[in-house]
Amino acid sequence: MKIYEFRRAPNPRRVQMFLVEKNIDIEYVQVNVRNGENRESEYLAINPKSGVPALQLDNGNVISESMAICRYFDAIQPEPFIFGNSPEERGLVEMWNRKIEIEGMNPVGECLRNSSDAFKDKAVPDPRVTKQIPELAERGKMLGNRFLGDIDKKLSESKYVTGENFSMADINLYVFLDFASWIKVIPNDEHQNLLKWKELVSKRESAKVFES
């Protein structure tokens, strides 16, 4: 099996960090999104929506969406428990994964896709033309900054996002912070809990994927 990805994009980063935490090796195939390779027929035959990453199994089936890919590998190799060990942990991890996605990643994505010239007529991850809406970019940046304050408050209560154990929610948050920096949404002195957490996670082996 192999994963098609664009190494520096946020969704592939989630899978990269997760697989390092799981100590799972896999073949990666790079798809140059900047050059539009993900919108060419060869890749569209793998993922018609053009997004990365996409996991192609040995039987030819394809699993797209970063969280679905992580879930697939988690089902194969449950330990270490990145999605939580107990029912309560699993519920909390799922809740915070969704909150980070909806309240953080999605607004930042809207800002970038509705403001960058690189996404002109490509405001959503779909090969069909979608016009940009500047107002969504403004709102996305505002919501991204709002989320920094919300997650900082949460991290005043626990070592990691969902408690004392590192989880997929921490991976998602770490990737979010890198992605948010692309639109200048960056933690400052008002986010001391978040900055402390970021320093802690940056020391993990999985965080080294950002060095490549």
When pLDDT is averaged across residues 157-163 and rounded to a whole number, the result is 97
The whole-number pLDDT of residue 125 equals 83
For residue 211, pLDDT beyond 90: no
Residues 67 and 94 in one domain: no
Phi, psi torsion values for 207, nearest 5 degrees: -70, -15
Residues 116 and 184 in one domain: yes
Residues 67 and 116 in one domain: no
When pLDDT is averaged across residues 65-78 and rounded to a whole number, the result is 97
Residues 14 and 55 in one domain: yes
The whole-number pLDDT of residue 44 equals 96
Beta-bridge partner residues of 3: 28, 55
- Judge whether 82 lies within some domain: no
Q: pLDDT exceeding 70 applies to what percent of the chain?
A: 100
pLDDT confidence bin for 78, thresholds 50/70/90 = very high
Amino acid at 21: E
Token pair, residue 123, equals: 């405001």
Q: pLDDT tens for residues 131-143?
A: 999 999 999 999 9
Catalogue the E-assigned strands of 6-78: 27-30, 54-56, 62-64
Residues 63 and 119 in one domain: no
Q: How many CA atoms lie within 13 A of 204 on its CB side?
A: 21
For residue 82, which of 204, 157, 199, 169 has the smallest C-alpha distance?
A: 169
- Judge whether 212 lies within some domain: no
The count of structural domains within the chain is 2
The whole-number pLDDT of residue 88 equals 97
Domain of residue 62, residue span: 2-76
Point out the domain boundary residue: 43, 76, 109: 76
- Judge whether 105 lies within some domain: yes
For 2, the enclosing helix (H) or strand (E) is strand 2-5
Point out the domain boundary residue: 29, 53, 76: 76
Mean pLDDT across the chain: 96
pLDDT confidence bin for 126, thresholds 50/70/90 = confident
Cβ neighbours around 138 below 10 Å, total: 14
For residue 212, pLDDT beyond 90: no
Q: How far apart are CA 174 and CA 166, in angstroms?
A: 11
Beta-bridge partner residues of 163: 160
Residues 71 and 91 in one domain: no
Handedness of CA 84, 205, 109, 126 (dihedral sign): negative
Q: pLDDT tens for residues 2-45?
A: 999 999 999 999 999 999 999 999 999 999 999 999 999 999 99
Cβ neighbours around 186 below 10 Å, total: 12
